[in-house]
Structure formats: C-alpha cells, structure tokens
Amino acid sequence: MRNKHWKSAIFIILPLLFNPLFGQTASSDSTYWEEEEGISTAIGLFTEYNLLNPTSKGFRIQIFNGSKQNANKKKTEFLQKYPTMVAHVIYEYPEYRIQIGDYKTKYEAEKTLSEIREWFPGSFIVITQIGQGLR
C-alpha cells in the first residue's frame, strides 16, 4: 500500500520541482492582433441592427401550431377577425406557429387572450423576445 502512495507522490512533486526549467520566457517582441478583413464592418452592422431593432422579454399569444399551409389559413382567419392586431408566423422545426401581439406584461396578454378565446379556444400565452416600443 505504501509503495502506491510513494509513486504517486513522485509524479506530483517532480513536475513542481522542474517547472521553472521549462517555463516561458519574456521576449522583447510585442504581441499584436491582426483583424481579419471585414470583421469591423460586420461588427458595425450587427451593432447598428441591434440598436434599430432592440428586443426584450415579453409575451405573445400562440393561436396555432401545425403545417405551413394551415398556419397561413389560420393567420388570415385571425387578421380578418382582428385586423388591428399583429400576427407573427414563426417556424420551429418541424412546425409553424402563429403568435399574436407583443406584450410587455402578462396582464396585457391575458386581457387579449380572454377576448380572442371565443374564436381561438386553444390559445395560450408564451414568453418570448419582443421588439421594444411595441404595444
């Protein structure tokens, strides 16, 4: 039993003793990074897009989940009944979803949900990213 511990101790102590021999040495060369062509342009465009299209956590009401063809029909049906509301078609493999509204609070979403349940009884509230300044 003692031999096992003694051998383990050697493997731990030896690297500690010889570490200064193999350490990195400082050089007078300064290290610098070269930027890949187009990176600063891409970062600038990404930043600009996010400033123009900010998002935050919010709520929507999902009224449909299914095929693309049926999703388009459901969206049209919804907009005929509620032309002033916003309907989003979202594709999440393998199905399409129709979500309506952009609500900052769950209370706002619940008010709308109670209004539309007559025509869309299976609807429910989802937490998602919404655009700022909407509703």
Task: Give the pLDDT confidence of 63-83 residue by residue, as tens digits.
Answer: 999 999 999 999 999 999 999
**pLDDT tens per residue across span 102-132:** 999 999 999 999 999 999 999 999 999 887 5
Q: When comparing pLDDT for 60 and 18, which is higher?
A: 60
How far does Cα 68 stand from its chain's mean position? Answer: 23
Residue pointed to by tokens 């299914």: 66
Q: Look at residue 82 and give its three-state secondary structure.
A: coil
CATH for 55-131?
Answer: 3.30.70.1070
133: pLDDT confidence band, cut at 50, 70 and 90? Answer: very low
Copy the structure tokens of residue 101: 């509204």
How far does Cα 41 stand from its chain's mean position? Answer: 23
Q: In the Cβ-directed half-sphere of 50, how many Cα atoms lie within 13 Å?
A: 7
Burial of residue 72 (number of CB atoms within 10 Å: 0-12, 13-18, 19+): middle
Q: What is the pLDDT of residue 30?
A: 62
**pLDDT tens per residue across span 18-45:** 555 555 555 555 666 676 777 888 888 8
Give the Cα-Cα-Cα angle 64, 70, 71 (nearest 5 degrees). 50
| pLDDT above 60: residue 49 | yes
Q: When comparing pLDDT for 5 and 120, which is higher?
A: 120
